[in-house]
Amino acid sequence: MQLPKKILDRKVKLSFKNTLITGPKRVGKTFLVFNFLKNFKGKYKYIDFSDHREKDLDFSGVDLVVLDNYDFQIPIPDKTTFIISNKNIEIEDFEKIELGGLDFEEFFAFDNTTNINQTFDRFLRLGNFPKLFSEEYFKDEYLKETFELLPYNKKILAFFFAHLGEKFTLYQIYQILKKEMKLSKDSFYKETNELLKNKIIFEVNKFESPKSPKKFFAYNFAFKSIMTNRKNPLHIFENIIFLELNKKEVYYKDTLSFYLPEEKRGILVLPFANEEIAQEKLKKVTDVEKVDIITISNEFEITNDKFEVEVTPFWRWRFAE
C-alpha cells in the first residue's frame, strides 16, 4: 500500500499498541493511521475488508497489522493491531479512539490562510470532512456520495440531516415519516438507535425534561445543504457549536440554545446579534452564573445584574475554550 503524499496532523495521536479507531464515514480514521505509518520504522500490513479482492493473511515478519473496515471475518492476529470501524464497537484489551470530523481548531490548522474570518467562512461552507481541503469545488458531490455510502435508511437519515437543531420527539418524527414511506414503529426506533449509537446523529435533551422534544444534530453540519433548500444559519451554527461541546454534559432550555449544568453556564447562539436582540433574550434567562452569547463575527459589551455575560465571535470563543 502506498501512502498519500499529503497527510495533515490531527489532535489525536496513535501509539504502537492495540488500538480501535471508530467513527462515521469520512471523518479521517484511515488517514489518522496513515499519519502514524508515515513515520513508522517497522514492517506493517494493511488490509481493507471493503476490498473484495483475495487477502494475504500471512502476518509473519510483520510488526503492525492494520485492519480497515474490520468485520470480524478473521480472528485478530497475535500482533500489535490497529482496527478501524465505522461502527461504535468495543474490543477487549484495545485502547479506543472515537474520531469525529475536524473541529474548528483543526480546520484552522489545516487551512492555508492566516485570516480567521476567511477560515470560518470556509468551515461554514465546506463542513468538517478532512478530504474537502482537496475537494472543495466538489463539495456537494462528495457529500452526496458519502450520504449514499452511509448504511442506513435514507429517508430517516435525510429527515435528521434536513432538520438540524429543530425540536422533535421521536414519536413526532415517526408520525411524519410513516406518511411518506412504509415504516413500522419498531424499525424506526431501531434505526434511530443505530444512528445515535454510531454517532451519525446526536440528541440534546431539554434540561430536567427528558420527555420533551429533543434537538438533533449531525456529525457533519454540511449535510443539511444537500437535503433541503431551507438555509437556516441559526441551526447550522448551533450544530457547529454543539460539536465543539459534545464531550461535555449538554442540554437545552427554552431560554438557552445550550446549558452546561456542571458549570451553571448557558449558551445563546445568535449568529447576527446586536445589543438590543441580546438584551431581549437575556431577560428570560434564569438559574445560571454565566451566559456566553456566540455570534459569527459581532462583538460588543453587555452589562447584566443577574449573571456574567460575554458576547464573543465564534472563533474567539472556540480558542478560549
297/103 Cα distance (integer angstroms): 18
pLDDT value, residue 53: 78
pLDDT value, residue 284: 94
Least confident of 182-186, 189-193, 295-299: 295-299
Higher pLDDT, 210 or 135: 210
pLDDT value, residue 232: 85
Quickly state the pLDDT bin for 230 (edges 50, 70, 90).
confident
Helix/strand/coil for 258: strand
Q: Is the pLDDT score of 207 beyond 80?
A: yes
Phi, psi of 46 (to 5 degrees): -110, 125
The continuous run of DSSP H or E covering 32 comes out as: helix 29-37
Helix/strand/coil for 94: coil
Residue 314's contacts (CB-CB under 8 Å, 6 or more residues apart) are 104, 120, 237, 240, 241, 294, 295, 296
Phi, psi of 268 (to 5 degrees): -110, 120
Mean pLDDT across the stretch 114-136?
83
pLDDT value, residue 133: 66
Across the strands, what pairs with 65?
A: 45, 81
Q: Is the pLDDT score of 92 beyond 70?
A: yes
Please tell me the pTM assigned to this model: 0.89
- 3-state DSSP of 149-207: HCCCCHHHHHHHHHCCCCEECHHHHHHHHCCCCCCCHHHHHHHHHHHHHCCCEEEECEC
pLDDT value, residue 1: 59
Quickly state the pLDDT bin for 303 (edges 50, 70, 90).
confident
Q: Judging by beta carbons within 10 Å of its beta carbon (0-12, 13-18, 19+), is residue 245 exposed, middle or buried?
A: middle
Q: Is the pLDDT score of 11 beyond 70?
A: yes
Least confident of 108-112, 280-284, 287-291: 108-112
How large is the greatest C-alpha to C-alpha distance in the chain, in angstroms?
A: 70
Residue 242's contacts (CB-CB under 8 Å, 6 or more residues apart) are 202, 204, 217, 250, 258
pLDDT digits (tens, 9 = 90+) for 132-176: 766 665 788 889 999 999 999 999 999 999 999 999 999 999 999
